[in-house]
Each structure stands twice: as structure tokens, then as C-alpha cells.
């Protein structure tokens, strides 16, 4: 577990360094040996950190030539592949949350089907997420209480994923299911649009690096205030 957390920590430091130096598309990173010395870690840790950055679309590697910065992302777009959260995707904006529901409940059948029958209690959190003063989305999440043992309204008003990482829990990967549909009256009222307006809804299941699911979320986006992008490595 320590090794897993270490390469994630180094990947975050490398990303911060790229941003701090304002490196542009195509700029070359230091060689592997230099990175090992700079961060004081093993070759395998650096290799794993670089793989993570490559999977997140932040770098690309050219065999025999080195590692280069990849920064084609346009501003104000939400990354549909990365699992860093809105705060990381939209750094120039003020992100805020209004907590509608926060409670411990017995998991609904759809959630228990993912978490397993042994999961008898989850945190249910419903939040309106804001980008600056505008509603970005309605987020409905269920967290396993045996992994995320404590949540309160103050935590839920910020970035829950940042809180999870601060606990030393390593977020691994996710499955995302996208649907475009017309809004019902209740959801439309919360988003501040009209019933029957279109919306992108994403059902997401987040896993730890160990492969255990810990978060089942459904996010419905305001069609006027949300933009998305996907980076492909092939």
C-alpha cells in the first residue's frame, strides 16, 4: 500500500511541477535518472508515476527520445476520463456545493448490487455543484461506510475526493455510463431549467487501487453550464 501511495504522491508532485513551470506542449521532461534523484525514489516508482500521468493525458512518451508534456486541454472543460474531480478540472473557477442530503441509510438495491450484499450501510449525499454562481450539476452519491467512515456537511461542501486522498485512501479507476435524457420536473427545478430540457447524466462507479468499489454516483449536468472533453492515447 505504501508503494501504491508513493507513486500517486510523486505523480501529483510532477503534475504540480509541470503547472508551476508552465511547461508548454512538447517540452521535454528530465531523464529517468534525474527524476529518481530529484524525488528520491526508485525507478519503478517513477515509471508508475509517469504511466499515471500518461493515462491522465498530461504527458506522452516517445521510445528512445524521452518524456514530453501534453497540454492540449482547453480551459473550462470537465475531463470525462480523469477522476480528479471538478476542483482539479476547473482550477480558475470558484467551485461550491450546496448539500441537500447527508445521511446514513441502507443501500438501495442498485447500489447494493455493486457494493455487495455484505454492505448494510452507506452514506447518501445529494449536492448541487456550482461553478462560480451557476449551477453545474446535481450529484447523488453513495459511499461505503466501512471505507469512508466519517463524512459531515463541512466536508461535503468541499471536494470529497480531496478528503478521501487526505485519509490516505488511493482512488484507482472508474466505470462511467452516459445517458442523454429529458429532465423531470423535480430535477429541472433543482438545476434551474425547464422540465423536458435535455441533460447529460453520468452514472459512475469508483474503485480503489485494490479494485474495491467505494462510491456509486449519478451526476446530472446543466446543459448550458457544462462542457466536456476526452483525451485518447490511441
User: For the packed helices 43-55 and 2-20, what is the interaxial angle rounded to 10 degrees?
Assistant: 60
pLDDT of 1: 46
Tell the burial category of 27 from Cβ atoms under 10 Å away from its Cβ (0-12, 13-18, 19+). middle
- Indicate if the pLDDT at residue 92 is higher than 80: no
pLDDT of 233: 64
Instruction: Report the alpha-carbon distance of residue 212 to residue 207 in Å, rounded.
Output: 5
Distances (CA, A) of 49 to 61, 132, 164: 13, 32, 19
Cα 56 from chain centre? 11
Q: What is the mean pLDDT of residues 40-66?
A: 90
Q: Are 220 and 138 in contact (CB under 8 A)?
A: yes
Percent of the chain, pLDDT > 70? Answer: 94
Instruction: Report the alpha-carbon distance of residue 81 to residue 203 in Å, rounded.
Output: 13
**Residue pointed to by grid coordinates 466519517:** 150
Q: Are 3 and 34 in contact (CB under 8 A)?
A: no
Enumerate domains of the chain plus CATH numbers. Answer: 2-69 (1.10.10.10), 78-229 (3.40.1410.10)
- What's the pTM value of the predicted model, to 2 decimals? 0.77
**CA angle, corner 141, sides to 51 and 93, nearest 5?**
65
pLDDT of 234: 59
Q: Are 77 and 57 in contact (CB under 8 A)?
A: no
User: For the packed helices 43-55 and 32-39, what is the interaxial angle rounded to 10 degrees?
Assistant: 110
DSSP category for residue 28? B
pLDDT of 52: 86
pLDDT of 8: 84
Query: Of the candidates 90, 86, 219, 82, which has an alpha carbon nearest to the alpha carbon of residue 159?
Result: 86
Mean pLDDT over the full length of the chain: 90
pLDDT of 4: 56
Instruction: Report the alpha-carbon distance of residue 6 to residue 12 in Å, rounded.
Output: 10
- Indicate if the pLDDT at residue 57 is higher than 90: no
Q: Which segment, 8-12, 65-69, 84-88, 229-233, is predicted with the most confidence on average?
A: 65-69
Q: What is the mean pLDDT of residues 92-111?
A: 93
DSSP category for residue 210? T
Amino acid at each position: 500500500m505504501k508503494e501504491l501511495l508513493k507513486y500517486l504522491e510523486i505523480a501529483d508532485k510532477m503534475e504540480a511541477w509541470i503547472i508551476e513551470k508552465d511547461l508548454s506542449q512538447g517540452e521535454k521532461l528530465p531523464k529517468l535518472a534525474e527524476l529518481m534523484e530529484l524525488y528520491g525514489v526508485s525507478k519503478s516508482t517513477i515509471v508508475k508515476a509517469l504511466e499515471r500521468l500518461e493515462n491522465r493525458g498530461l504527458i506522452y512518451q516517445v521510445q528512445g527520445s524521452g518524456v514530453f508534456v501534453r497540454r492540449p486541454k482547453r480551459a473550462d472543460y470537465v475531463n470525462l476520463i480523469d477522476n480528479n474531480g471538478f476542483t482539479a478540472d476547473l482550477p480558475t473557477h470558484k467551485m461550491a456545493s450546496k448539500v441537500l442530503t447527508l445521511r446514513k441509510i441502507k443501500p438501495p438495491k442498485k447500489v447494493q448490487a455493486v457494493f455487495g450484499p455484505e454492505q448494510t450501510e452507506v452514506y447518501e449525499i445529494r449536492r448541487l455543484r456550482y461553478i462560480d454562481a451557476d449551477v453545474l450539476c446535481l450529484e447523488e452519491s453513495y459511499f461505503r461506510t466501512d471505507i469512508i467512515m466519517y463524512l459531515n456537511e463541512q466536508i461535503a461542501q468541499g471536494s470529497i475526493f480531496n478528503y478521501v486522498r487526505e485519509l490516505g485512501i488511493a482512488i484507482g479507476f472508474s466505470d462511467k455510463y452516459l445517458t442523454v435524457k429529458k429532465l423531470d420536473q423535480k430535477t429541472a427545478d433543482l438545476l434551474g431549467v425547464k422540465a423536458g430540457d435535455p441533460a447529460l447524466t453520468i452514472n459512475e462507479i469508483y474503485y480503489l487501487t485494490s479494485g474495491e468499489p467505494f462510491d456509486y454516483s449519478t451526476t446530472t449536468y446543466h446543459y448550458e453550464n457544462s462542457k466536456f472533453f476526452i483525451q485518447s492515447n490511441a
